[in-house]
Amino acid sequence: MHDDTSFASLPDPPDGTPADAAVPSGGSEGRTEYVQQTLVDLDIPGDGSNLHPDTGTPLSQVTFVVVDLETTGGSPADSHITEIGAVKVRGGEVIEEFHTLVDPQVPVPPFIRLLTGITDEMLIGAPRIDEVLPAFLEFARGAVLVAHNAPFDIGFLRAATRACGGTWPAPVVVDTVTLSRRLVTRDEVPNHKLGTLAELFGTTITPDHRALHDARATVDVLHGLLARCGGTGPLSAQTLEDLQVLASRVHPVQRRKRHLGRGLPSAPGVYLFTGLRGQVLYVGTSTDIRRRVSSYFTAAEQRTRMTEMLTAAEHVVPVVCATRLEAQVRELRLIAEHDPPYNRRSRKPWSKSWVKVTVEPFPRLSIVTRVKDDGARYAGPFPRRQAAVEAISAVHEVLPLRQCTTRLARISAAASACLLAEIGRCGAPCRGRQSVEEYDPVATRARRLFAGEDRTLIEGLRARMLAYAAEERYEEAGAVRERAAALVDGLGRAQRLAPLAAAPEIVAAKRRDGGGWEVVSIRHGRLAGTTLTPPGADPVPFISAMRASAEVVSPPVPPCPATHPEETEILHRWLTGDGVRLVDLVGTWSCPVAGADGAESLSRAPGRTSRPAGVPVRSLE
């Protein structure tokens, strides 16, 4: 290690240091007794049992590889490893040691020779790093790496792995420097250097800037630190996950509230953070509730609003679901029901904007928040009102629909024409310059666009965008693209929702990895029921029971489904995913041939494919 700049009296290098490949050996009896006593202090049973078996990996069952390097300098960019020392410990026992010198293939600088005692002569005949590294990685496979000032040692190991053409395995890393700053106060030590901590904890070996000696000293320091975080309280750690939190740069609120993650199931589902009076603060979903909730109390969670949420949180309520699909749907419904203040997406689903082609003698485009059974064509819902405004602007750019909001009679000669009429962007039906019959072809093109029967208007927008780009008018081309993308997104969403909203029931199944089937019933775009069939069992009885007990769903007004539109979008993605089979279809399910999803070049996201009408119903074989 290079954390101690005092080298007035350097000890001699370890006796009999070999200049060849790694040498594993057993640990000393004195160190074994020390770490065993540490586990007694921690009240960790020797049989590997754990006080909190459902909250993570007990420290007594974790294999640690404590590693230390000596190098030719301070940066892996221009320096090389000269020595690797490592000690493998588990359950308080030293299992094995690893030690080797390494030929850096460059001279050792005088300062490093003075600091470590490693000379060029000692490195003659030593293996190169590409010969040593595979053996060390195999030695440390599956273990948690521990180092004093871990960024230094791990940085060199990662760089060496990359230089040798390998892939760094990215193990869990614990830094005893960070850990000591959490557990050792300034009243006890002036700094957190390895030599200082070794003196505090009375290690059985004194660190001397030789890799194996320093690794052995770090083992004793590690166990001394672990002894301090036994028991309860914000600085306690009884599992590896607790230790990671303690050794990371987490907010005090995260450390204080991490007990909320204990006792949660390791299963797919939804979790709700609730406040003192039971109010729902935040809703999330995960394939593993326990792991996901635990991540809120680590340094990886840096969102300010999540820290605020944790400050107010008092409980975490898990809702276990049979499948990931069910968990996603439940999350949306709970967000819609409780409107949690710390959720940003999926809130207030019924206030989203739609764009419709109005039903009147001179139709126009209008932004509404509710789909009515009025015979109008709809696009949306849009994620925000401004997106709906952009979609309308895109249509107006290539189609001379009237833009005034006044409801017009068949002829209104007394009305005054607007600027759009003067510049030829509108036929001025308000002045009687355009009859209903003359205006109808314009309105029909808009209705066909919304119905997915004609995509020529979208192609017109694309042509306009390319023309601007060819003239190097890039800002104008970008503006056209953004408006067109908003239109395509809204049209595509409505054209996906409408068939599912109209279908009385779709029963589909997907084979599970472990055997059996995941079966769902979708009624009018809403998840009405789901079941899992056991491997090897006949799925038909299970499907019949699911359908008999599924939710009764009243028909909605398409394209709006009988639920949150985002729920129907999730179901659509599942239905059109790989490996899904249709079991039964009541009604029809089809997609428009000239729908907006085909205009991929203008969409923000890749186009989605829909299962076409007439797809055969396949048996579950």
Bridge partners, residue 270, by sequence = 285, 319
Answer yes or no: 209 catalytic. yes
Strand order of the β-sheet with 526-532 is: 526-532, 517-523, 505-511, 580-586
C-alpha dihedral, 93 to 42 to 148 to 163, nearest 10°? 60
Shortest CA distance to 268 belongs to which of 330, 315, 313, 339? 330
Q: What is the DSSP letter of 147?
A: E
Q: What is the DSSP letter of 461?
A: H
Q: What is the DSSP letter of 232?
A: S
At position 582, the amino acid (one-letter code) is L
Q: Do strands 144-147 and 63-71 pair parallel, antiparallel, or not at all (unpaired)?
A: parallel
C-alpha dihedral, 142 to 146 to 149 to 150, nearest 10°? 0
Give the 3-state secondary structure of residue 81: strand
Rounded-to-5 percentages of helix, strand, coil across the chain: 40, 15, 45
Instruction: Burial-class residue 52 by CB neighbours within 10 Å (0-12, 13-18, 19+).
Output: middle
Measured CA to CA, the distance from residue 321 to residue 574 in angstroms comes to 16
Alpha helix stretches (DSSP H) within 415-515:
419-422, 436-451, 456-470, 474-502
Residues belonging to the chain: 621
**Catalytic residue (choose from 209, 223, 524, 564):** 209
Phi, psi of 587 (to 5 degrees): 90, -150
- Write a three-state SS string for 374-411: CCCEEEEEECCHHHHHHHHHHHHHHCCCCCCCCCCCCC
* Tokens encoding 504: 């009385």
C-alpha dihedral, 173 to 178 to 179 to 185, nearest 10°? 170
Cis (ω within 30 of 0) for the bond into 559?
yes
Strands annotated E in 161-279: 173-175, 269-274
* Tokens encoding 403: 């833009």
DSSP 272-338: EEE-TTS-EEEEEEESSHHHHHHHTTSTT---HHHHHHHHH--EEEEEE-SSHHHHHHHHHHHHHHH
C-beta separation of 506 from 589 below 8 A: yes
Q: What is the DSSP letter of 578?
A: T
Give the 3-state secondary structure of residue 12: coil
* Neighbouring C-beta atoms of residue 414, cutoff 10 Å: 8
Measured CA to CA, the distance from residue 563 to residue 276 in angstroms comes to 31
Query: Residues near 411 by Cβ (< 8 Å), separated by ≥ 6?
Result: 432, 435
Determine which helix (DSSP H) or strand (DSSP E) holds 260, and give its type and residue range: none
Give the 3-state secondary structure of residue 207: coil
* Tokens encoding 324: 């990931």
C-beta separation of 178 from 166 below 8 A: no
Which residues are identified as catalytic?
A: 209
